Amino acid sequence: MIALLLGNFVLMAYDAKTASEERVIRVWTQAVANFVQSPVTTVTSSVNGYFQSISNLRSAQSENDRLKQRVQELEVQVQQKEELSKENESLKSLLQLKTEAKYNIVPAQIIGRDPSLWFDSAIINRGSLDGVKLNMPIVNNGGLIGRVIAVSPITAQINLVTKDKSGLGGVIGALGTSNALGVVNGNGKREMLEMGYIPGTIEVQVGEMVYTTGQDRIYPPGLKIGEVAEVRPGSATVPQQIFIRPSAKLYAMEEVAVLLYEPPATPEFEKTLPNAVKEDKKKGR
């Protein structure tokens, strides 16, 4: 009994020490669990979809009429946009600008949630074989969801932004024009984030959008985090307390995307700083 307890304690201590690195037991258990979780997720989502489609039939007729009208309106708009697009292309070729996708993405499905009530991680059905790496950002059409914390060949574990430790660089308003820069953290409340280090002298309005800055070297700049829900004013010396409602529906998501983003390399002069060795060991966080 003592040997087992001691073994577990050593495992815990090691896990707490190397929280940001790959952990072999975790990775391979996830890969094994995928063979159970994936079929269950497929079956439950198809059963849910079946019942959803039955309930949707009731409103189908009126929705159909409304959509037909909408299609006609959109056809007109598409024609207009095609013309604009052609004009845009010709202008770009004149200016010799190249269009390129900002980041590659890998679409993924949530196949499992944290089996413990205490934490809020999730498992997706994409892993290192799909190009997913540690700390890559996870998004959906609403905005930022979190980052990858463990990768197996076929699955990956993700951590939600609302988790306490996941502090990230954020800016209220447009990046480059606003000077309301701060750090966004989870605050224990499941549907809310907290932003700190914004001086009390900067005016912040409820409803303003918050974006990533990219200064944390994990998330790329310009990703939507959420909108300001509450502002507790500070003073010239005390920073404001700002609460943010995440844009992404963190607890009702099924489809997500992994941004295949790798942060820029650390500049040479930063490697000579006293904490440089520690940072290299941490590999990000």
Asked whether 128 and 148 are in contact (CB, 8 A), the reply is no
Q: Please identify which residue in 20, 21, 22, 33 interacts with other proteins, judged by CB under 8 A.
A: 33
- The Cα–Cα gap between 70 and 78 comes to 12
CB of 259 to other proteins, least distance (A): 20
CB of 10 to other proteins, least distance (A): 8
**Beta strand pairing status for 105-113 and 255-259?**
antiparallel
Q: What share of the chain is helix, strand, coil (3-state, %, to 5)?
A: 35, 25, 40
Q: How many CB atoms lie within 10 A of CB 14?
A: 11
CB of 153 to other proteins, least distance (A): 15
Lookup: tokens for 5? 């307890």
Could you say whether residue 49 binds other proteins (CB under 8 A)?
no
Could you say whether residue 128 binds other proteins (CB under 8 A)?
no
Q: Please identify which residue in 20, 22, 26, 154 interacts with other proteins, judged by CB under 8 A.
A: 26
3-state secondary structure of 76: helix
CA 59 from centroid of its chain's CA atoms: 34
Could you say whether residue 125 binds other proteins (CB under 8 A)?
no
CB of 182 to other proteins, least distance (A): 21
* Rg of the chain, C-alpha, whole Å: 23
Residue placing its CB nearer to other proteins in the complex, 118 or 269: 118
Q: Please identify which residue in 125, 157, 240, 247 interacts with other proteins, judged by CB under 8 A.
A: 157
Phi, psi dihedrals of residue 121, rounded to the nearest 5° = -85, 170
Rule CB under 8 A: which of 168-207 touch other proteins? 186, 188, 190
> Would you tell me which residues interact with other proteins (CB under 8 A)?
1, 4-5, 7-16, 19, 23, 25-26, 29-30, 33, 36-37, 40-41, 44, 110-121, 123, 149, 157, 159, 162-164, 186, 188, 190
